[in-house]
Structures are given as C-alpha cells and as structure tokens.
Chain A
Amino acid sequence: MIAPTQVDSQVSSQVNGPARAVHSPAGRGLGLGRLFARHPVVSRLVSLGLFFLAWEIAGRVPISYAFPTFTDTLYAFVTMLADGSLVMAYGSTLQPLIIGIAISGVVGVVLGIVMGLSRMAEWLVAPVFVVLQSAPMAALIPLITFVYGIGLVAKTLAVIMLALPVIVLNGYKAVRNANPSLVDMCRSFQGTRLQRITKIIIPDASPVIFAGLRLGLAAGFIGVILAELLITPTGIGDLITYHRSVANYAEMYAAVVSIILVSTLTLAALEAFEIRVLRPEKRRG
C-alpha cells in the first residue's frame, strides 16, 4: 500500500533533490525499531509470542505423538500449580540448589579473589579447577552416590561440583586482569594494599565475578536436575521422570519449561541486583 508512493516520492525527489529520498524511508522504517529500542520488554514479548506460536503449530501438526501443544502444556502447568505438585517439587529441588549455590558463591568468590591476588594460591588451586571445569561432571555424579549416598548431601555436592569451578575461575581471572592503570593510580595516591584490594581491584573485577556467579547459578540448575535424574528422582526430576513414565507428555513438558522459567528469572534477578547495587553508573544510559 505504501510501497508505490514511496517509490514515487523517491523518483520524484531524485529529480527535485535527493534530501527527501534519504530521509523519508528511513523515518518510516524506524517506527518499529524505535518502539523496540525504547521498550525492550515489547521485543522480548514479541519474540516469546512467536516462539509459542511455532510451538503450538508444531504440536498441532503433530511432529510426534509425544509432543504436546503449547496450550496443552500451559493447561498442565496451571493444573500442576493449582494442585500443589509443582510447589512441592520446587520445595525439594530448591533445597540442594540454594545450599549448593550459597556455598559455591561464598567459597568460589573468596577463593577466586585469593587466587587472583597470590601466585602461591594460584599454583596450588588453579589446576584443580581447570581440570574440574573441563571434566564431564555428569560422569562423576554416580561416584558421589558411592561416597555420600542418595540424600541431600549428594545432591548439594552435585550442585557445587558444577557451579564452583566457573565461579572460582571467573573471580580469579577478573582479579588478575584488574586495570593496571587504576592499580597504579591507587598506589600513586599512597593507597595501602588493603585499600587497593577493596577500593580498586574488587570493584573493578565485580562485573566479571558476577558473570561467574550467573554462569555458576546456571550450572547449579544443571547440577540439581542431573542429580535428581541420575541419583534419586525427587522434586522436578521426579515430576519429569514420573510423567514421562506414564506418558503424560503435557505435564512432563510443563515441568521442563517451569525449571527453564525459574532459572531464567533467577538469573535476571541476579543481574538486576548487580546493576542496582554494584554498578551505579550502568543505571543511566
């Protein structure tokens, strides 16, 4: 509808002068882009909406009898939420996750900072975590059960094993790569070693430390689900296993999607916390 007049105006303005030809299409084209730029939530909702639409179509085709539609999954999700089974499941899944992440966060950040500051600690500790990070953790989880059984300890340990290495290594790299010019600046104004660490190195390293925490949290979610699938089915792992075994595919998908949702929201909350508390300058454009 618009296209022909646009071409017309381009042609005529090329005769009269190129100014309009440059500006008019650009101004029109930017409308949607500007909407997205100003309200990033809108573009995210649109992208999610398109994904759910594709899911619904794929479910209706259907691509497999074990593949439910989006609406069926949503219905199963609401039902599970209402009858309390989802809440119960999260009650038991979140326990090892929260304990494991808390331990990994504190130990990992401290250990990473110490390793970044001291060559000695680096030599002693770094190789262990480099190996741990590259090891396929899922293969080690059965070993945990031999030592720690099938209870909360084993599951917490699975979370720590997945989350800790990335947190430690990020903290260590962040501290080691602290801006040398800022460190020199602090020295030149006679900052003590403690001031240098607390006022320059840690704030400068905090974005990368937090990136490590976010990756660690994501890895922790993997760890807890692996543990629940591989050690003993409890919580969300149990929901997934049970509904798969009785062919309740909509319920199974609802459980899977719910854990993705929870992990995404938790990561977003962590990011928001970081920007609010630690990097005030990022709050302004």
Chain B
Amino acid sequence: MTNSAAVIHSNVHPMPQAASDAAVEVRGICKKYNDVEALRMIDLDFPRGKLTTLLGPSGCGKTTLLKIIAGLIEPTSGEVRVNGRPVTGPGPERAFVFQDFALMPWATVMRNVAFGLELRGMGKAERQSIARKYIAEVGLAGFEDKYPHELSGGMRQRVGLARAFAVNADVLLLDEPFSAVDEQNRRKFQEDLLRLVEKERKTFIFVTHSIEEAVYVSDRIVLLSRRPGRVSQIIEPKIDRTASPDAIRRDQGYLDTVEEIWQGLKHYVD
C-alpha cells in the first residue's frame, strides 16, 4: 500500500474542483502519542459547501484528525488551513458537534444552544433570539426550557447541532454525532441533516464508522486506513439527493457504493 491517496470515482464523474475552493486544507498532518503513531502524512482538501465524511475502522484516528482541524488537539507536524489561514487553536469559523453531546446538565436547552454566543459576550436578548431560531430549525421548538436529562438521546444531539449552527461558523465538524442515538432516531436525524446541509450551505466534516450513514449523507467520503491512519481512498457517491430518503436507500448507486467501501475496508477487519 502506498502513502499517496488513490482517488476512485464510483461513477463517471468529473475531477473534483475542490482544490480551487477548499474551505479546509490539511497538509502533511502527523500525530504521535508517545510511541503510537495515530496519523501519518494526511493531505486533504475539504470542498466548500460540501459534506465530507471521514470513514474508517475504529482506532484509525478519524476523530483525532477532526479534533486537529478543530484546533482542540495539536498535530505533531503538518498544518491545517481554514479559509486560507493556518489553524492555531479553536476559532469562530469552526463549530464542533460532540459525540457525547457535551451539553451542560445544569442549563436549559435555550442556554445550551446560546452558549457559544454567551461566551462571545453577546447580549441575552440577541443570543436568545438567534438560539430560538436554530432550536426551531432542528425541530425542538417548545423544548427551550427543558433540561438535557428530560430529552431523548436524539433530541440532545439536536441541541448540540443547534448550538453549532447558532455561532454561524463556516465549517461544522461533527464527531460521530449519531453514535449514541438509537437507530430509528438516527435515520430521521440523517434525513434532517441532509435538509440542513442543503439549507445552511456550510462546509460539513463528518466522522462516522457507519458505511451506510457515510454514503447516505456524504458528497465525498475519505476512507482512512487502520493505525497509523492514512488516506486510503476518496469516494464521491453519485446519488440523486432530490429523491425521497427511502428511494435513496434503495438506489442502485447507493447500494453499489456501500458495497465498494465495504470491499475496501474488509481487509482491515479481522
């Protein structure tokens, strides 16, 4: 296996024009924890306005890469640029959605969603009106005064998503947002996410270990190899997103792409 990334198109598809307008550029990122090499020489572009998924076996460093992009973890070497500017820490142009939701249990849905704005020192009335809009957008209108423990897992993650939307960042980083959500809610949530991607026109970087989920929601899928994580394939599923969710899940292109990725990942599983 070579270090260079092989770009494979699942269907006949023009070369991506990503390089010309990449919201996030990752250049030569390596990460070592003591002697354990988590990531090796990652070079990636994340095209603006698209949803790109980082997919790979557990322990491949996909969450580490996402947190490096977020500025929460420092890479051992390499550089991340967002909108052309190098990342030195968390910034207002990026917002993170956490796997375990990371909601403050002592705060209401309203305060949780407005928290990013509260940290920026925005006045209460202003931040609450923004928060209220995004609470409604993720389908939680009427739950503003509830506390997280009064919500289901799926609803809690909607709060996490609304909080990320509320700060109006260009890039949304989602770390396995649905892994702690039950299957039925997850499907509904994926459909809502697609609608929000369409509506918000932001750049999404999405980490998951579910192949079906990746193919269903992504414009672009980056397959990472097992530790040390490297880019092993980039796949651009060609799926008609205008079709109904159920039609997409039965679409031949969708099924073929799932199968193709499985074939690519199979040899990592033992």
Contact = CB atoms under 8 A, between A and B. Distances in A.
Interface of A: 179, 181-182, 184-192, 195, 199-200, 203-204, 278-281, 284
Contact of A188 (B72, B105, B149): B72
B70 interface: yes
A200 B112 CA distance: 12
B167 A189 contact: yes
Given A181-B100, A187-B90, A284-B147, A203 B106 contact: yes
Contacts of B119: 186, 189-192, 195, 199
A185 B90 contact: no
Contact of B91 (A184, A190, A199, A280): A190
Contacts of B91: 190
Contacts of A186: 119
A187 B92 CA distance: 11
A279 B100 CA distance: 21
Contact of B106 (A188, A191, A279): A279
24 contacts: A179-B102, A181-B98, A181-B100, A184-B98, A185-B98, A185-B102, A187-B89, A188-B70, A188-B71, A188-B72, A188-B96, A189-B95, A189-B96, A189-B163, A189-B167, A195-B119, A200-B104, A203-B106, A204-B104, A280-B106, A280-B147, A281-B147, A281-B148, A281-B149
Given A278-B106, A281-B149, 11 more contacts: A181-B98, A185-B98, A187-B72, A187-B89, A188-B90, A189-B95, A190-B90, A195-B119, A279-B106, A281-B148, A284-B150
B102 A184 contact: yes
B84 to A, nearest CB: 19
A182 B104 contact: yes
Nearest to A279: B106
From B94, B105, B149, B150, residue with most partner A Cβ within 10 Å = B105
A284 B118 CA distance: 25
A186 B159 CA distance: 15
Interface in B95-146: 95-96, 98, 100, 102, 104-106, 115-116, 118-120
Contact of A189 (B106, B115, B147, B149): B115
A203 B98 contact: no
Nearest to B73: A184
B102 A181 contact: yes
Interface residues of B, number: 27
The 10 closest A-B pairs by CB, nearest first: A281-B147, A185-B102, A189-B116, A188-B96, A191-B119, A181-B102, A188-B90, A189-B119, A181-B100, A203-B106
Contact of A185 (B92, B96, B118, B149): B96
A200 B98 CA distance: 16
B92 A190 contact: yes
Contacts of B96: 184-185, 188-189
Nearest to A281: B147
Given A189-B167, A190-B91, A190-B119, A281 B102 contact: no
Contacts of B115: 189
Contacts of B89: 187
Contacts of A179: 102
Contacts of B147: 280-281, 284
B95 A188 contact: yes
A185 B90 CA distance: 10
Interface string B203-236: 0000000000000000000000000000000000
A179 B104 CA distance: 10
A185 B113 CA distance: 12
From B89, B102, B167, residue with most partner A Cβ within 10 Å = B102
A147 B243 CA distance: 85
B161 to A, nearest CB: 13
B120 A190 contact: yes
Nearest to B150: A284
Contacts of A189: 90, 95-96, 115-116, 119, 163, 167
A77 B167 CA distance: 63
Nearest to B120: A190
B14 to A, nearest CB: 35
B148 to A, nearest CB: 8
B156 to A, nearest CB: 13
Nearest to B102: A185
Interface in B6-57: none
Contacts of B163: 189
From A186, A188, A200, residue with most partner B Cβ within 10 Å = A188
Contacts of A185: 96, 98, 102
Contact of A281 (B90, B100, B106): B106
A278 B222 CA distance: 45
Contacts of A182: 102, 104
Interface in B147-167: 147-150, 163, 167
